[in-house]
Amino acid sequence: MNEKPELAEDSTELYEHFRFVVDKGQAQLRIDKYLFAKMENISRSRVQNSANAGNILVNGSAVKPNYKVKPLDVITIVLAHPPRDVEIYPEDIPINIVYEDQDILVVNKDAGMVVHPGHGNFNGTLQNALLFHLQKSDPSGETRPFLVHRIDKDTSGILLVAKNELAQSKLARQFFYHTIRRTYHALVWGSLKEDEGTITGNIGRDVRNRLIMSVYADEDKGREAITHYKVVERFGYVSLVECRLETGRTHQIRVHFKHIGHPLFNDESYGGNEILKGTTFTKYKQFVQNCFKLMPRQALHAKSLGFVHPSDGREMYFESEYPADLAVVIEKWRGYSLHANKDE
């Protein structure tokens, strides 16, 4: 039985999860050959890399590519997505690489940069820039960027990239089993009642607008999503929050905070680009509009990322400062809230 992938193509994590139960009459066969025959559009080398990364379990235990399947074995496989079937050309685009070795790259992505080509963005992406960077040290073009997760175009912050398929497979396993440690910081409308909490809700494509997501009570309409948050600082009409994700759904933080009535500041897709809290005073409206101009995007930043190095097992941790637009808007709200409290 081949169950549907646990994570859909549009999730922020770039892997899928499959499950098979071996037929009663199945003759013993190497598991890499078995899965190669069972799965569509997959190379045997990808299956072998998944096994070598510890991503293939039989009856709950990791196996190597030469394991012989037996009748009624339960096989699960976490499979990293291959590079997209799109021609990617190297482009000399400045990027902020904060760490690099033979297996991984860690990038502090600017807001406004798309991670990979597609949907009308066939150049100017992070992958175009990474390919140019990698070809400087490997003119053969054999070294390519392998994505393991992604963040939205207008979200800034830390992004992890593999430089080979085995590293990608090992990192995909960490994302799947939620051992990746990552935080996001967001500026949201309103003052949350609790200092910390958890938002749950199944996330799926909005039925009226396929470009955005919605939260559904029915799990058949969306996939389970869990966001933990804590308030970092309160500014009266907006709050700075830290978010920790258990799942990696498209727009997860943005749609979850919209769902609980606290859209991200200046998030046009989810209604945060309107003045949702505050007074009717003209000066206040001008203040908010000025903040919108200073940061013409949703106030979301991938603040930190921790993981185990795919080759040597080192604990790795990276943290990035707020970009200038978000930093200045936070400082303006901090100043506004101090003056508002004095006036009261």
Helix (H) or strand (E) holding 185: strand 181-189
Neighbour-count burial for 241-251, b at 16+ CB within 10 Å, e otherwise: bbbebebbbbb
Residues 170 and 308: their CA atoms lie apart, in Å, by 9
Cβ atoms of residues 168 and 80 within 8 Å: yes
pLDDT for 4: 37
Residues 307 and 180: their CA atoms lie apart, in Å, by 5
Same fold, 96-176 and 181-343: yes
Residues 222 and 206: their CA atoms lie apart, in Å, by 10
pLDDT for 5: 36
pLDDT for 341: 58
Q: What is the pLDDT along the chain (344 residues), one digit of tens a residue?
A: 443 333 333 457 788 889 999 999 999 999 999 999 988 878 888 899 899 999 999 999 999 999 999 999 999 999 887 766 667 889 999 999 999 999 999 999 999 999 988 777 778 999 999 999 999 988 887 788 999 999 999 999 999 999 999 999 999 999 988 899 999 999 999 999 999 999 999 999 999 998 999 999 888 889 999 999 999 999 999 999 999 999 889 999 999 999 999 999 999 999 999 999 999 899 999 999 999 999 999 999 999 999 999 999 999 999 999 999 999 999 999 999 987 755 54
Token digits of residue 167: 């590293």
CATH class of the 15-80 domain in this structure = alpha beta
At the fourth CATH level, which superfamily is domain 96-176?
A: Pseudouridine synthase (3.30.2350.10)
pLDDT for 82: 73
Cβ atoms within 10 Å, residue 79: 22
DSSP output for 211-231:
TSEEEESSTTTSB--EEEEEE
CA distances from 154 to 18, 186, 248, 316 (A): 32, 12, 17, 26
Bridge-based pairing of strands 202-205 and 213-216 is antiparallel
CA distances from 199 to 1, 185, 196, 234 (A): 33, 15, 10, 19
At the fourth CATH level, which superfamily is domain 181-343?
A: Pseudouridine synthase (3.30.2350.10)
**Any idea what the Cα angle at residue 45 is, between residues 106 and 61, rounded to 5°?**
85
pLDDT for 342: 53
Cβ atoms within 10 Å, residue 317: 11
Token digits of residue 38: 């069972």
Cβ atoms of residues 114 and 72 within 8 Å: no
The single residue of 32, 73, 103, 152 carrying the catalytic annotation is 152
Domain boundaries, the chain: 15-80, 96-176, 181-343
DSSP output for 14-83:
-EEEEEEE--TTPPPEEHHHHHHHHSSS--HHHHHHHHHTT-EEETTEE--TTPEE-TT-EEEEEEEPPP
Cβ atoms within 10 Å, residue 118: 12
pLDDT for 83: 67
pLDDT for 16: 84
CA distances from 48 to 57, 98, 164, 236 (A): 13, 31, 14, 54
At 90, the amino acid letter reads P
pTM exceeds cut of 0.85: yes
Is 218 a residue of the active site?
A: no
